[in-house]
Amino acid sequence: MGRHSEAATAKKPGRKLILSIIGAVVVVGVVSSGVFVWVGGYLNPLFASADSGCAETERLAIVADTSIAPALADIAEKFDAKSDLCVSTEITAQDSADTAAVVASGGAEADAWIPEATVWVDRMNATATSLGQSAPEIDVRESVASSPVVFAGATTKATELAAEPVSWARVLGGTLPTILPDPEASAASLAGLLALRGHSSPDDPRQFAGAMIELSKTIPASTSAAFGSVTASHEPAVVVTSEAQVAAYNLDGPAEALVAAYPVDGTVSLDYPLVRLSAPDEPAEAEADGDTASEEKAGAATHDELLDAFETAVRKATKILAANGFRAPDGSGKLDVAGVGAEAPAATAALDGATQLEILRAWSVLTLRSRMLAVIDVSGSMEEPAENGLRRIDIFQQAAVGAMQKFSGEVELGVWVFSTARNGELDYEDLSPIAPLADVAHTQQIAGIIQSLPDRLGGATGLYDTTLAAVKRVRESYDPEKVNSVLLFTDGKNEDENGIDLDTLLAELAKIDDPSKPVPVIMIGFGPDTDLAAMQRIAQATKGAAYSASKPEDLGTVLVDALSQRSCRPNCG
């Protein structure tokens, strides 16, 4: 069945509200959508006033998240029709990301705002700070509704999904294929990450970071896009979303409905606070001559009283909210909507705004798209056995295959190999240009190079000449929209007697340094023969990092560190 509120499309605000928030502030990706719903005399307010006997109609302007706006439209229509307050209530449906940015910049023209979650108020304040403005004066009231975070799957895959209980633990372990809409535009996704972190190991921060890297391989621009992906997929998968969004999707009568799966290890809930944006009414001044118009105005409801009356109407409209898939503010209530459970699940409110902003900052760092040149040591010493009996080159091959799977198709990767006199007088050989991994042929080429490495071994370690040449190469084709870096793997120290020494390398790196085009060098050493001290000096000079790895699984750990520590180098501690 279809949704039961009338709506007309309004002019969309556009895709230009992208704000950079630094330090305690986060990058807020703004995805615009504007559906304007006008109720309460929606054809002509003058006719409505005439029919009701109102000499003048007062306008209330409410902006609400797109998920709850249809329910509010129904409530407003009944409120205006039954009220004797001569009021016309306009509901503007807008993504909370857009509204947060507009309110932060002082451009909101509304009396109240009902966002998807309180965290949007925190992000609005952070945005205002980043713009050099004071936080807007607002009055954050209690929530009018709530909705737990759930996993949504296609109904045709429900049996397969139910074969094993869905849980955050399975997301962490990589055994539940999960799609996460962009948390910079979705409070449900951000709250889902909060729940995910709550179930990760407190002793191993890499577990949560690794899970976010996996989730970021594909980032749908919107929840509706994620729903489209999961219903079109041939394999069972789930979307992190809210119960209300599943209900809204199914109420629109899609070709294939969704079903909400509730995490067996608990979940969190979104709240929908009512935020008063308009300044309080000023007391009306009494007219000394008893002017009739002034007396009528004094007897009419003030704007604040109208807003109070509408807020009360919303809180009492539990049946309308439930029909649209919303629980009571305390999480209780029964629903009768296809695809969601009747009884409320156990859920805690995701009210820790500071923690959610911290998670969002980490997400923003992890999802910065990379452009990397992988530089691989193929000197003869890579034939030597490591601690586990495998050759060093075998360890690298095993780890490299797993590492490739961590990257999304948007990552750009190129491959060099190096050892002394590898390419004429040069210590390095360009085997694959830096190109997107989304290119299947390019990815296959790199996989072939990895498999061929044992056949390429020979020579000594020409570390310093290669490092300098690699930094220069990456900077030559620098992409300011990506994180440009050199990822260098070696099992030894520099052995090129005809090449530059360490001091010369550091001096050359300082000479070509360009703060507007940083190229950090991430150095990963295998085995006991690496010169970690020299690697650390090179990393420090390029604001990179140096790591030591001996087991195949160490490389995966190093790559998580290399990606998650991009914002703190070179002083990550």
- Least confident window among 261-275, 433-447, 459-473: 433-447
The whole-chain average pLDDT of the chain stands at: 83
Reported as a single tens digit per residue, the pLDDT across 41-82 is 332 333 333 345 677 888 999 999 999 999 999 999 999 988
CA angle centred on 438, ends 16 and 155, rounded to 5°? 80
Residue 294 sits at φ, ψ, to 5 deg, of -65, -35
CA distances from 121 to 72, 116, 130, 202 (A): 20, 10, 14, 28
What SS3 class is residue 488?
Answer: strand
**Gap between the Cα atoms of 493 and 237, Å rounded:** 46
The DSSP line for 73-95 is HHHHHHHHHH-SS-EEEEEEEE-
Query: Residue 566's pLDDT is what?
Result: 61
pLDDT, one tens digit per residue, over 386-405 is: 766 778 888 888 878 777 77
Does residue 486 contact residue 545 with C-beta atoms inside 8 Å? no
pLDDT at 565: 61
Residue 254 in 3-state DSSP?
coil
Predicted confidence at residue 392, as pLDDT, reads: 84
Q: Which amino acid is it at 10?
A: A
pLDDT higher than 50, residue 168: yes
Q: Which of 366-370, 476-480, 550-554 has the highest mean pLDDT?
A: 476-480
CA 510 to chain centre: 35
DSSP sequence for 119-153: HHHHHHHHHHHHTT-PPP--EEEEEEEEEEEEEEE
Residue 563: the pLDDT is 65
Alpha carbons 27 and 364: distance in angstroms, whole number: 7
**CA distances from residue 544 to 263, 324, 485, 488, 490 in whole angstroms, order as listed:** 39, 51, 8, 11, 16
- What confidence tens digit (pLDDT) does each residue in 407-422 have? 777 789 999 999 998 8
- At 570 the pLDDT is 56
pLDDT score recorded for residue 551 = 61
Q: Could you read off the pLDDT of 108-123 as tens digits, one per residue?
A: 889 999 999 999 999 9
Residue 247 CA to its chain's centroid (Å): 22
Rounded to the nearest 10 degrees, the angle between the axes of helix 392-404 and helix 440-452 is 170
Q: Which amino acid is at 177?
A: P
pLDDT at 247 > cutoff 80: yes
Distance between CA 256 and CA 1 in Å, rounded? 13
pTM over 0.85: no
pLDDT higher than threshold 90 for residue 338: yes
- How confident is the model at residue 395, as a pLDDT? 80
